[in-house]
């Protein structure tokens, strides 16, 4: 029963035969209607889905998260939760799991005065509470660029890799 001009983020769970396990129209990840750049991670043998995205709810793009259980119920409220906000745009989020029920999220922070791209990470628990301060930790100042990847290290931490552009080349870093 969504209006025809509704624009948002949706998820669907399929069985092994391609049948829908949730509502045929999918499950809305947020009740907000202006969302961009979706990233997904599954938790603990498919028990939960974590969705991350950036959207503009104010003057800048911020990163949000939502968790869905096996039945498609939203676990982090109707609009999801804020993972990263503040100065500049918080865009292109990626996540990996910790050893518990939390996750490590990395995103690109774009500041416009002065112009700067940084790769930032945050550790959250199952409720989305931030463990590494409100702003997370800066992994690198990457000049210009926004591609990053995360993988669990199996010990509650993560490996992060990113592309940062510079004048002569585009190195890929792993930490």
Tens-digit pLDDT string for the chain (175 aa):
555 555 678 899 999 999 999 999 899 888 776 666 778 777 666 778 888 888 888 888 899 999 899 999 999 998 899 999 988 899 889 988 888 778 899 998 888 766 778 889 999 988 888 999 888 998 888 766 667 888 888 888 999 988 776 543 444 445 4
Distance of CA 118 to the CA centre of its chain: 16
pLDDT in tens, 59-83: 888 999 998 999 999 999 988 999 9
pTM: 0.83
Pair type for strands 158-163 and 148-152 = antiparallel
18: Cβ–Cβ under 8 A, 6 or more apart, which residues? Answer: none
Q: How far apart are CA 67 and CA 155, in angstroms?
A: 22
């Amino acid at each position: 029963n969504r209006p025809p001009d509704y624009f948002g983020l949706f998820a669907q769970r399929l069985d092994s035969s391609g049948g829908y396990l949730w509502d045929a129209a999918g499950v809305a990840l947020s009740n907000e209607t202006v969302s961009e750049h979706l990233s997904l991670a599954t938790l603990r043998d498919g028990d939960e889905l974590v969705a991350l995205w950036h959207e503009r709810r104010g003057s800048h793009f911020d990163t949000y998260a939502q968790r869905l259980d096996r039945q498609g119920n939203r676990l982090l409220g109707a609009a999801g939760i804020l993972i990263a906000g503040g100065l500049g745009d918080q865009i292109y989020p990626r996540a990996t799991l910790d050893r518990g029920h939390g996750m490590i999220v990395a995103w690109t922070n774009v500041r416009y005065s002065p112009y700067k791209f940084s790769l930032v990470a945050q550790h959250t628990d199952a409720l989305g509470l931030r463990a590494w301060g409100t702003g997370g930790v800066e992994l690198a100042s990457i000049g210009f660029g926004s591609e990053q990847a995360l993988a669990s290290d199996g010990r509650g931490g993560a490996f992060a890799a990113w592309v940062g552009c510079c004048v002569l080349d585009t190195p890929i870093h792993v930490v």
